[in-house]
Structure 1
Amino acid sequence: MTENIDAVVIGGGYAGVMAANRLTQRNDVTVTLINPRPAFVERLRLHQLVGGSHDAVVDYKDVLAKSVRLVVDTVTRIDAAGRRASLATGGTVGYDYLIYAVGSGSADPRVPGAAEFAYPIATLEEAQRLRPVIDAAPATAAVTVVGGGPTGIETAAELAEANRTVTLVCGGMLGPYLHPRVRRSVAKQLARLGVTVLDGPKAKVTAVTCDAVQLGDGRELPSEVTIWTAGFGVPDLAARSGLSTDAVGRLLTDETLTSVDDARIVAAGDSAAPSDLPLRMSCQTARPLGAHAADTVLSRIAGERSAAINVGYFGQCIALGRRAATAQLASRDDTVNKFSIGGRLGAMIKEGSCRGMVKELAHEGRKPGSFTWWFKDDKRRQLLQTKRGEALAIR
């Protein structure tokens, strides 16, 4: 008789759900997914939740394999030696293999007043907290969005399209990921929507009060609602559990996504730092890493050699309201180029991408092992060789 194997996945986002579903390929593996929320969060739509055009949640029964056991709770500590995860409500869950997919959230802004007076939106609860604040604010209220990355741009555009008076404070460059040509196109669309964009080194926020935002050049912007989208952080669960992490707190792994401390722990998504060269935080990365983490566990169970990750990219799609978007194209090593798809076609691509990712998870739940990521990046191997050479030189 085959002995049953317990696999636990911590985190029910894009990476965690993909991993949990893929693990169900083996009948002798019992899969448990531990997540603090009872529903799957479409993180790509949190700006829409703030703007009132989407609730950004999907029932787990629509994306999770039926055989996966869902535990709605928070893991407070991982006991690697005892192979147990402690829960906030009490008790523990034992495992033979654990996939660490806790994702990311808002970073500590470290700006005076930001924690007290600004609203982050990196998580469902944060976006839900902000939504009634926006609804209650007068139509003429000054809204300031801090952060010129995708979340900041999408939030500013969403609210401006709803006739809000919005200022986007970039704290540096608008859309740092974007090619200069594409950046100019995004800036023009934001201007059409009525968004005031403040970028450059002088547009760095130095303090936030209940009704204003102060900038590095001494300017003070009236702001009845301040939204903070600058930066992401990861939960400190790995560090609290005595596992090795990078400077940000992501779990350090090898190229198979296996923890450098324990062969029974595998990481995926935003909380993974393979070879201390983490990939771009995004759901574009999360899904293939979730699938690869599951494949690593399944290979280990089967006594086979685990493969190294090979995740390539195609670019980034940024919504510019409900009727427009910009799809920035890139090479597979994530180097952007001057090409993009914009306007209504871009909006169709963006919406199709959001829907498609949920469908991918659901399909993997019905047919585990079906997900395939066609984009590969052969340059990562060169980066690893360079890093190892530098490490040897230091020694």
Structure 2
Amino acid sequence: MTGNIDVVVVGGGYAGVMAANRLTQREDVTVTVVNPRPVFVPRLRLHQLVGGSHDAVVDYKEVLAEGVRLVVDNVTGIDANGRSVRLAEGGVIGYDYLVYAVGSGSAGPRVPGAAEFAYPIATLEAAQRLRSVLYDTPLTAPVTVVGGGPTGIETAAELGEHGRSVTLICGGVLGPYLHPRARRTARKYLARLGVDVLEGPEAAVTAVRSEAVELADGRSVASRVTIWTVGFGVPDLADRSGLLTDTSGRLLTDETLTSVDDERIVAAGDSSAPSDLPFRMSAYAAGCLGAHAADTVLHRIAGEQPEPVDLSFPAMCISFGRQAGIFQLGRKDDTAMPLYFSGRAGKKLKEFACEASVKHLVAEASKPGSHSWPKDGKHRPALLSARRDDAATPVA
């Protein structure tokens, strides 16, 4: 391929920024990032925004490589045949390659009353709105956090540390990824912060009212402010553009992260579904997948065969306010080990991970192609092979 090559990156989160920065390795590549906000949002900090200990924004000048063009707008459609994207404010941007990195957010709540009376936290705007609501709510008023995953735990802990009366409703087990030993530690930390934890299927939320949350076993939990951290959703841009997606709306790709519809479109982060077997949602995975997506594009530009994605998850971490944390070590197959760091050590490791998620972007901007990550090469191929065998097995 000769002449200038235009690459459009749709989405300016961890995956999009990493991909954009890495693509600057070639001088003949012009990179444009289209993002609806003029600032980068480190989503790992959104619970801190709600609690008032972080503003959860970073200037793009700090994380985007010099020469990457930022367009603040929404992409309303992708024309794969015409190789262009339509913008909400009008106009079209053409591309030779497109990196689809639109990220994720909360799924639309299906529980009666949740859409009307519960507050999500998955986006900057949602977290800012919730912070404003809490600012106008007395400290003594009951607050309920729905969801026992990392976001729910961290939000409940942050608010409990500020002296609020918080109930954390899991609807299952607290911290499903955590090893049972680490889970016991998590319960202890939440108890110290005054957070009441309700676990098990009987604690599943069946309805949200203006002043209460109804549970499956008939209990009613008083709640002046209900915070909703359950569910996963992605923008429907790919589906609306006629591209194949999985059942959650993520762009279907092969193992190189290339769209099954068009080799000029490559996906990364939470909005990608390689082989219909997506990776666990995390800032860590988003950055690594963004880097791999860029490598796939660069291989195609060079006329080379892209490599399959290879990624392992070494750990998962959760903060419990500003004084404690759990850094859960994991096996390469993404299951928890009995070993974890807790207390102040866990808190420092969690803070290190949050800072590193941004520093990796800055490092890639100054030295494109430098980002590396732990590989596995064993468990994912085994999962794919087992699934192929299952699909080939005739049903009796």
TM range (shorter): over 0.9
Q: Distance in 1 between matches of 2:144 and 2:389?
A: 46
Q: Distance in 2 between matches of 1:268 and 1:119?
A: 28
Amino acid at match of 2:257: L
Q: What is the match of residue 330 of structure 2?
A: 330
TM-score of the two chains, using structure 2 as the length reference = 0.98
Amino acid at match of 2:14: Y
Kept after mapping to 2: 8 A contact 1:7/1:96: yes
Q: Distance in 2 between matches of 1:352 and 1:375?
A: 21
1:183 aligns with 2:186: no
How far 1:387 sits from its partner (Å)?
1.2
1:58 aligns with 2:76: no
1:309 aligns with 2:304: no
How far 1:392 sits from its partner (Å)?
2.2
Q: What is the match of residue 206 of structure 1?
A: 206
1:254 aligns with 2:251: no
Q: What is the match of residue 283 of structure 1?
A: 283
Kept after mapping to 1: 8 A contact 2:314/2:374: no
Q: What is the match of residue 118 of structure 1?
A: 118
Kept after mapping to 2: 8 A contact 1:250/1:271: yes
> How large is the RMSD of aligned CA atoms in angstroms?
1.0
Q: Distance in 2 between matches of 1:374 and 1:227?
A: 35
How far 1:374 sits from its partner (Å)?
2.6
How far 1:39 sits from its partner (Å)?
0.3
Alignment of 1:1-395 (within 5 A): 2-394=2-394
Q: Distance in 2 between matches of 1:120 and 1:236?
A: 18
How far 1:389 sits from its partner (Å)?
1.7
Amino acid at match of 1:179: H
Kept after mapping to 2: 8 A contact 1:253/1:259: yes
Q: Distance in 2 between matches of 1:57 and 1:132?
A: 17
Q: Which runs of 4+ in 1 moved over 6 A?
A: none
How far 1:6 sits from its partner (Å)?
0.3
**Residue-by-residue CA offset, 1:109-136 (whole Å, 9 max, x unaligned):** 1011100100000000100010011111
Per the alignment, do residues 289 and 164 of structure 1 end up closer, same or farther by CA in structure 2, a change over 3 Å counting? same
Q: Distance in 1 between matches of 2:207 and 2:374?
A: 45
Per the alignment, do residues 114 and 378 of structure 1 end up closer, same or farther by CA in structure 2, a change over 3 Å counting? same
Q: Distance in 2 between matches of 1:366 and 1:250?
A: 30
Q: Distance in 2 between matches of 1:226 and 1:297?
A: 43
How far 1:377 sits from its partner (Å)?
4.6
What is the aligned length?
395
Unaligned runs of 5+ in 1: none
Q: Distance in 2 between matches of 1:7 and 1:53?
A: 37
How far 1:155 sits from its partner (Å)?
0.1
How far 1:375 sits from its partner (Å)?
3.7
Kept after mapping to 2: 8 A contact 1:139/1:164: yes
How far 1:315 sits from its partner (Å)?
1.7
TM-score of the two chains, using structure 1 as the length reference = 0.99
